[in-house]
Amino acid sequence: MVPQKSACVCATLRKRPCTRLSDPIGLEPKFAHSAKTVSFKDAPPTLFAPYDSSRPYLEQAFRDIAEIGYGSFGVVYAATSRADGLQYAIKRSHNVYSTRSWRKRMLHEVQIHESLPPHKNLVNFVMAWEERDRLYIQIELCRRQSLADMRQCATCVTESAVLKWTKDMASALVHLHKHDIIHLDIKPDNMFIGADGHCKLGDFGSALNLATDNVDDFDDGDGRYLAPEILNNPPTKAADVYSLGMSMLELASGVDFASRKFNSRMEIHLAAFGCLKDVGLKQLIEDMTNLKPERRPSALGVLEMIFLLENGEQ
């Protein structure tokens, strides 16, 4: 008798807990009081009109606003635009601008978004604005659970699904790297399933443009997925490939990299690789997480390896 497949539980999953910070009280804005568009384009988008500066722009331009998540950046809302009637996600930063340099650092995420042409495997950027020294970013609304949340669903997170997600994320990296952008914070928490079914990479708060940014001044990503070489060296595109490999290793193995039972990264690797059943997927992830960055495949190389796996060539 064939065992029944367990039902998908993704709709019932709650987001993993995250430290929630209280809003600062009594701080007067220094740089942006009324709402204004943030853009680095020659022809920037305009705010929804009419706009009353006595009320938050979010409440005027959107309806059916509901909080759907929060994290280190701030709060994420789902909301329906009054301009086009479509639903979007709105990220509101928790931290207000403390200095001009901090404001510039936060707005850099918008600059990265605007420098990239749209791609089916990137969370689509719509526009951004700042108000009372906070940054708001309007983006495509995906499913409310990230791949990190979905990890709890054995029905959806299979090795074949992980291979598909790896393909989608490698496609995203090919697009980023073609434009000299490195993400530097690739992890399951920043991967989402769009309404079109594609896996999409989001959160560009740590991203750098290798052609224009100072690569010695960057924010470290999550240490569980961070390429070891960038602790002492400038980051490269190979660091993104490593982080993607580590992300997919966690998802495919079912091993929780945040578990306190592990005392070292080596222990995590041994436990996770020991859980993989698919030989081809295991070899792919081993290549992507090679400790020597020059021996890792490029993002395009990852796609080529997946093509061989999908066609029965290992």
CA distance 121 to 124: 9
> % helix / strand / coil in the chain, to the nearest 5?
35, 15, 50
CA distance 101 to 142: 31
Helix (H) or strand (E) holding 66: strand 62-70
Report residue 82 as tokens.
């009054």
User: Which strand ranges, in their side-by-side order, compose the sheet holding 36-37?
Assistant: 36-37, 125-131, 134-140, 87-93, 74-81, 62-70
**Residue of 149, 185, 203, 222 with catalytic role:** 185
Asked if residues 310 and 281 have their Cβ atoms less than 8 Å apart, the reply is no
- Please identify which residue in the block is written with the tokens 């979905």: 150
The b/e string for 241-268 (b: 16+ C-beta within 10 A; e otherwise) is bbbbbbbbbbbbbebbbeeeebeeeeeb
Q: Is 219 a catalytic residue?
A: no
CA distance 90 to 290: 37
91 annotated as ligand-binding: yes
Q: Which of 83, 66, 97, 169 is nearest to 126 (CA)?
A: 83
> Binding site for ATP: residue ranges?
91
Annotated catalytic sites, by residue?
185
> Binding site: residue ranges?
91
